[in-house]
Amino acid sequence: MTMKTKVLGLATCFNRKDKTVNAVKSLMTGNSNIEFDFIIADDNSKDGTADALAQFENVEVMHGDGNSYYTGGMRIAIARALELIAEKKIEPDYVLLFNDDVDFYDGAIDGLVERNSGSVNKIWVGPTCESDGVSLSYGGIARTSNWKPKFKIVKADSYDGLKVNTFNANCVLIPVGIFVKTGNMDPVYHHSLGDFDYGYMTGRQGAEIYVSDEYVGMCPNNSEKGTWRDATMTRRARFKAKESIKGVPFGEFYHYILKNYNFPAAVIFSISPYIRILLGI
C-alpha cells in the first residue's frame, strides 16, 4: 500500500463560511495522494464559519479577536503549527499556505507534490486564474529591478517550473524543514505584505521558490476600486485608504522595502505613493 503524503494546510478566514468550507472540502476530496490536516485561524467570524469548520475531524480552529486581518491571522495559524510540529504531535511532509477564497481544481496539490520530487529545499507556488480560467491572477513574484521594489506576477511555461523571488500565498507548498527554519511571519505587518516578506524569509533559509505551469484553481484578483490606487477618489479618501490597516501603511511599507531591498529604495518608494495621490494619478 502506497503511503500518502502528509500535508498541513494553514489559512485564515473571516465571514465567508461557504468559501472557507468549500476550499477545505475541495482540498481534502480532490487530492487522492494526500492526507490533510488543517489549522485555520477564524478572526471572530459572525456567520458560523468556526462552527462549520469544527465539524471536520482534521481541522483545528484557532480564534482571533476580530482584529487579526490576513497576516495576523496567518501568524496565529503558523504559531500553532510550529508548536505542534515541535512537540511531534503532527509530522507533516509539507505545509500548505492557502487562501480560503481559492476554488481549487482536483489534483492541484497532488501536482505540486509530484513536481517537487521529494526536494527538501524547494517551495512550489500554485498560480491561480481569473474567473475566465485563462488569465493569471496570483502566483510567483519575480523582481524586475535589482534595487527598486518592482515586480511582476508570473507562472511557468513548462512542467519544470520557473524560479521566482517570493510569492502570493494563495497556494504555496513548503517542505516542513524549511517551514520550521523560517519561523513565523514578521509581526510588523497586519494585513498586506506579510506573504511577500515571508517568501523572502524562506529564501534566506536556503529555499528555492518555483512557480508551477498549471493553475491550481480560480481566485479573481481584488479590484483597485476603493483602494488608495483608485484615482477617482478624493485625495483625502485615498490618503485614508493608504494608511488603513487594509492599505499599505507607511511604517509597514518602509520596513518591508528596507528589509528586502535597500535604504535608498525604502526612502524613495515609501514616499512616492503620497506624491501619486497629490498629483491625482
144 lies in the same domain as 102? yes
Q: What pLDDT, on a 0 to 100 scale, did the predictor assign at position 38?
A: 98
Number of domains in the chain: 2
Q: Does residue 118 come out as left (phi exceeding 0), alpha (psi in the -120 to 50 range) or beta? A: left
Average pLDDT score over residue span 71-81:
98
43 lies in the same domain as 74? yes
Distance CA 175, CA 177 (A): 6
Average pLDDT score over residue span 67-95:
97
200 lies in the same domain as 252? no
Sheet containing 151-154: order of strands: 151-154, 140-143, 166-167
Distance CA 199, CA 201 (A): 5
Nearest Cα to Cα of residue 241 among 232, 228, 225, 253: 228
Q: What pLDDT, on a 0 to 100 scale, did the predictor assign at position 1?
A: 55
User: 208 pLDDT exceeds 80?
Assistant: yes
> How much is the mean pLDDT over the chain?
96
Nearest Cα to Cα of residue 222 among 246, 253, 198: 246
User: 127 pLDDT exceeds 80?
Assistant: yes
Residue with more model confidence, 2 or 77: 77
Please provide the size of the chain in residues: 281
193 lies in the same domain as 245? no
Look up the CATH number of the domain holding residue 128: 3.90.550.60
Distance CA 243, CA 106 (A): 39
What pLDDT, in 10s, does the model give residues 213-258? 999 999 999 889 999 999 999 999 999 999 999 999 999 999 999 9
Look at the block and give the residue holding cell 527598486: 148
Is 183 inside any structural domain?
yes
Q: What pLDDT, on a 0 to 100 scale, did the predictor assign at position 223?
A: 87
Distance CA 77, CA 83 (A): 10
What pLDDT, in 10s, does the model give residues 263-280? 999 999 999 999 999 999
Nearest Cα to Cα of residue 113 among 25, 178, 11, 31: 31
**In the structure grid, which three cell numbers stand for residue 30, read together?**
480532490
What pLDDT, in 10s, does the model give residues 5-54? 999 999 999 999 999 999 999 999 999 999 999 999 999 999 999 999 99
Look at the block and give the residue holding cell 488603513: 244
Compute φ and ψ for 209, nearest 5 degrees: -105, 125
Is 208 inside any structural domain?
yes
Contact 255, 188 (CB under 8 A): yes
133 lies in the same domain as 207? yes
User: 210 pLDDT exceeds 90?
Assistant: yes
Is 102 inside any structural domain?
yes
Domain boundary residue among 170, 189, 218?
Answer: 218
Is 205 inside any structural domain?
yes
What pLDDT, in 10s, does the model give residues 130-182? 999 999 999 999 999 989 999 999 999 999 999 999 999 999 999 999 999 99
Is 268 inside any structural domain?
yes
Distance CA 44, CA 67 (A): 8
239 lies in the same domain as 209? no
165 lies in the same domain as 257? no
Contact 163, 141 (CB under 8 A): no
Contact 47, 15 (CB under 8 A): yes
Domain boundary residue among 173, 191, 218?
Answer: 218
205 lies in the same domain as 123? yes
Is 225 inside any structural domain?
no
Residue ranges in the chain assigned as alpha helix (H)? 17-30, 49-53, 69-86, 108-116, 176-182, 194-204, 235-243, 250-260, 263-279
Is 230 inside any structural domain?
no
Residue ranges in 89-169 assigned as alpha helix (H)? 108-116
Nearest Cα to Cα of residue 254 among 274, 271, 241, 276: 271
Is 167 inside any structural domain?
yes
Model-level pTM?
A: 0.96
98 lies in the same domain as 175? yes
Domain that holds residue 15: 5-218
115 lies in the same domain as 23? yes
89 lies in the same domain as 182? yes
194 lies in the same domain as 245? no
